[in-house]
Structure 1
């Protein structure tokens, strides 16, 4: 007597929130692994086991998915900048390097560098407004924490943030190539920033 095949198990229905979360995680992975060109509804759908038609239901279009991803990544960058506030003027010996690592990680592992390059190349620079507001808030917060007799000026704080951000952005995009070319250690740029940063104070 032939054995009957067991009925196929049905996957629990995903909630809209779960679909959005999984889709954004897959979209971020696409961006980090292969750049903006790989960020398609078809590829994101393949990674999470859904059709691109289903994703259109949740995001409206590929542009809607991309906008949602940008928003999610900007929130992460803003969070990293907020944490940097607690480190930048700390008197703890390791705090300054921890702050540098936070910003570098946000641009590299968090994908903020590729996001910024993507926004710039797309010409949609108005999307930088949340970052602009976060950086201004960071400067204002540090300014409020400065003692009245501090020799550190807001101008120096702005220059130090510019210095860190520029290096973090460049290191995330071409740091690996340059380190290999010059035979430098993986955290060479971070060490360089840590050594030079006190000159801004």
Structure 2
């Protein structure tokens, strides 16, 4: 039989349990509401236990950002062109709002973390590869600026969607379809 003391100090996957609890808190209350002590209580472990995996709150947020960028890169990888990468971007934000909130606030995490940098580089490469699918007329002379334009559209749309600011503009329309329409006004995939 397991005692309360054993349950407090032994957890099957404490790292995942703390990450999951943190993502729930961020999704409902924002990153500022995170407390390792509260997360330990939610996971049913001692208040010091999460520090063994994350060291501190910044370490936890770094792990969330790294996981977010990895999931993000995976979400972008299957998209055939820049427009669909933008749709995948919007879909990712809608399905992973807590990751999305943390990923784009570098003041919250350790920007030099190797796992974070590797995941971020992978996601950036996926976004940039979409620029190559554009017709020459839809690109600037600098592909990085074209990428910034596409990123601005997708990120802006996703941020407005998550904050509830597109409700009137999008109406009953599926947000992904609305994004496709907007992206089609600005970017033309190759061969189209």
Q: TM-score with structure 1 length normalisation? A: 0.67
Equivalents in 1 of 2:130, 2:170: separation in Å? 35
User: Contact conserved, 2:65 with 2:103, CA < 8 A, in 1?
Assistant: no
| Aligned pairs (5 A) from 1:182-197 | 182=168, 184-185=170-171, 187=173, 189-197=175-183
From 33, 50, 54, the equivalent of 2:49 is: 54
SS in 1 for 2:95: coil
Equivalents in 2 of 1:123, 1:71: separation in Å? 10
1:188 CA displacement: 5.5
1:68 aligns to what? 63
List runs of 5+ in structure 2 lacking aligned partners.
none
1:177 CA displacement: 4.7
2:160 aligns to what? 170
The reply on whether 1:88 has 2:88 as its aligned counterpart is no
1:169 CA displacement: 2.4
1:34 CA displacement: 0.7
1:33 aligns to what? 28
1:62 CA displacement: 2.1
User: Contact conserved, 1:45 with 1:51, CA < 8 A, in 2?
Assistant: yes
User: Contact conserved, 2:89 with 2:155, CA < 8 A, in 1?
Assistant: yes
1:115 aligns to what? 102
Cα root mean square deviation, aligned: 3.7
Equivalents in 2 of 1:192, 1:183: separation in Å? 9
User: Contact conserved, 1:167 with 1:189, CA < 8 A, in 2?
Assistant: no
User: Contact conserved, 1:81 with 1:135, CA < 8 A, in 2?
Assistant: no
Shift in CA distance, 14/62, structure 1 to aligned 2, threshold 3 Å: same
From 89, 101, 125, the equivalent of 1:103 is: 89
The reply on whether 1:14 has 2:1 as its aligned counterpart is no
SS in 1 for 2:96: coil
Paired positions, count = 176
1:41 CA displacement: 0.4
1:92 aligns to what? none
Equivalents in 1 of 2:20, 2:109: separation in Å? 24
Equivalents in 1 of 2:120, 2:72: separation in Å? 8
1:32 CA displacement: 0.9
SS in 1 for 2:48: helix
Higher RCO, 1 or 2 (CA under 8 Å, sep at least 6)?
Answer: 2
Shift in CA distance, 126/165, structure 1 to aligned 2, threshold 3 Å: farther
1:189 CA displacement: 4.4
